[in-house]
Structure formats: C-alpha cells, structure tokens
Amino acid sequence: MFSKFFKKQNMMRTVLIAVSPIIIYGIYVFGWRTLALLVFNIIVACTVEYLSEKYMYKKAQITEAAIVTAILFTLTLSPGLPFWMSGVGVAFGIFFGKEVFGGFGKNVFNPAIVGRAFIYINFSTPMLTFNQAANSERLISGLGGFAKWITPVLDHTASPTPLLDLKINGSTVSVLNLFLGNIAGSIGEISTLLIILGGAYMIYKKVASWEIMVSSLIGFVVTSYALILIGVQGDILPPLQGLLVGGFIFGTVFMSTDPISAPKQVQAKWIYGIMIGFTVVIIRGFSLFPGGTMFAILIAEVFAPVIDYIFKEVNRKKRLAKKSTIVKKAVAND
C-alpha cells in the first residue's frame, strides 16, 4: 500500500535520520506547536506533489523527497509562524521549485529554499518574529518546551535573535549557548552541535558532499577575515560568531548539499561552496537582510549547472587525452 503512493528513497531516509534529533530539540526548545507545524507542512507538501504528479505527469506517486523538503522548510521557520503562511510557503516550494521543472531529479533550485524565500519576501514581519527559547530554568521539572504548546513570543523590536542583536546592537551571546542552541531563532537552526552531528552522519552514509560543506566554511571564514583585515566598512561579524549565529551552518549542511541542485563534479563543488560562503558574508555585511544564507544558496544554484558543465568538459578532455596517450604508447611498444 505504501509503495503504491510513495516512492522509496534510501537517501532521503538517511536525511530524515540526520534531522530527527534537531526536530526533537526544536520541540524541547519551543513547544509542541513545532511538531504540529511540521506535520501540517508534510501533509501540504505531499498533497501538492501528489496532485501535480497525477495531473501533470500521470504518475500519481509521492516521493519521500517531498517529506524531506517539508521538514527542512519547517526547520527554517519561526516557531510561531501562522499555519496558513507556512502552508503557502511549502506549497509554493514544491510546485514552483520542483514540479514545474518536471518533478523529482529535475529541479534547478532547492524546493525548501524556494518556499522559504517566497514567504520571507511576502511575510517578512512574521518570519522575523521569534519565540523565547525554553529551558529548565524557565519551565518546571526541566521539561522545557515539552511542557508547552508554544513558548512566549519575544518583542520583535528588541531584536531577539543573536544575529539581529549582533548586527543592530552589537550584543553578544556566549559561544556555548550558540553552539548548544539555548537561544531564540528558527526551529532547526539554533543548535550547531546537532546540525554538525547530522552532517557527519550524512557524510558517513555518503549522501551529502563534504566538499561543499568544507568549501562553504572556507569561503565564509576567508571572506570574513579578509574584509575585517582591510578595514571594509560594513556589518562584518567575527568568523566564529558569524558561523554560529543565523542559519549558515544549517544551510551549508542540509540545503547546499542537495544532490539535485548542487554540482556533481568535484572541482565544481569546491567553487560552488566557496561562492556560497562568500555571498553570505557579503549579504550579511552590506544588505538589509539579517541572514543571507537562503539567498546565497539560490544565487549559487543559478551558476551550478554552468560550473558543473565547464568542469565536466575539462575532465572529459583530460580522460580523452590520457586515453590517447595510452594508445600511442601501446602502438609505439608494438
């Protein structure tokens, strides 16, 4: 019954395992509304994909990638975002980020990022209104958000997230809190520790590119240091703080490594990752957007096919030249 409507994808199940601890921690920090929002988005995503596949491509089957898209999309949201806004976003991402290109395996952009970009532009205030992080000091019995439907909403004008505090007020949060995730922010982007563990698991299972992850970090750190050293005027954060605040680590691990929209050639992966890290620093430092990871990945995805094609041709010519050399040597030996 399951296989009739769902296309099994082992790679997607690996991603699901990698994000499971992040989901659980999101519930602990922000409350059970997080899970409700997640389930709602999964239902919307699967419905849109099923109807699109049935009436556009006559397949009437849902890929497990749709579930992963809904989960990754949800983890980038503010926990108090209205359900209808979230549903609009994930529906837009599945349809315009995936189905209009031909369905699974043909999308140019990461559908989760497409959906988030759409609602970020259209509903910026709700997307930048965050909830207070819960912990055992605030809630009884050390249950955190497990004892709440949703944690209280912080005043948006008070710049509640570490990234906004750094950029607007120059306030800092301890590195330990940033690393563990005892902060306000998007559902799945607050705990760097859990994101790194998820990324390590995906690398171990060979479903995500370590080259893209590492090169993104290199691009971010080198660009940050370079701009600080030459004294460029802008909101350039120190590299360590810049890495730990906002959604850069989450985007690097789970979004930039999308096997469909990311490059396939090894050399192209390095350039692609460096481009993402570089662009995030530029957007954060000189634009009105407090984050930048989402737009940086979308920009890099525009160039990904071109970069991939260039190195594919270079590698093809190298193989032909090597083969030609081997043939010539064989003929000479005869």
**pLDDT, tens digit (0-9, with 9 covering 90-100), for 7-33:** 778 888 999 999 999 999 999 888 899
Per-residue model confidence (pLDDT) at position 330: 65
Compute the average pLDDT of residues 267-284: 94
One-letter amino acid of 192: T
Closest of 178, 169, 175 to residue 133, by C-alpha? 178
- β-sheet bridge partners, residue 189: none
| pLDDT tens-digit readout, 169-212 | 555 566 777 777 677 778 888 888 999 999 999 999 999 999 99
Per-residue model confidence (pLDDT) at position 161: 58
Per-residue model confidence (pLDDT) at position 137: 47
Q: Domain total for the chain?
A: 1
Number of helical (H) and strand (E) elements in the chain, helices listed first: 15, 2
Comparing 44-53, 196-205, 289-298, 323-332, the range with the smallest average pLDDT is: 323-332
Is the pLDDT reported for residue 234 higher than 70? no
| pLDDT tens-digit readout, 116-152 | 999 999 998 888 877 777 654 444 456 777 778 888 7
- φ, ψ of residue 62 to 5 degrees: the values are -105, 135
Let me know if residue 325 belongs to a domain: no
Per-residue model confidence (pLDDT) at position 328: 65
Greater confidence (314 vs 69) lies with 69
- φ, ψ of residue 182 to 5 degrees: the values are -85, 60
Residue 37: give the domain boundaries: 2-314
Let me know if residue 324 belongs to a domain: no
Is the pLDDT reported for residue 215 higher than 70? yes
C-alpha torsion sign, points 20, 26, 32, 36: negative
Q: Hey, is 153 helix, strand or coil?
A: strand
Is 304 within 8 Å of 246 (Cβ atoms)?
no
Let me know if residue 251 belongs to a domain: yes
CA distances to 63, 97, 101, 261, 290 from 105, rounded to whole Å, are 10, 11, 9, 9, 32
Range with top average pLDDT, 60-74, 157-171, 268-282, 311-325: 268-282
Let me know if residue 203 belongs to a domain: yes
Let me know if residue 165 belongs to a domain: yes
Let me know if residue 326 belongs to a domain: no
Let me know if residue 166 belongs to a domain: yes
Let me know if residue 257 belongs to a domain: yes
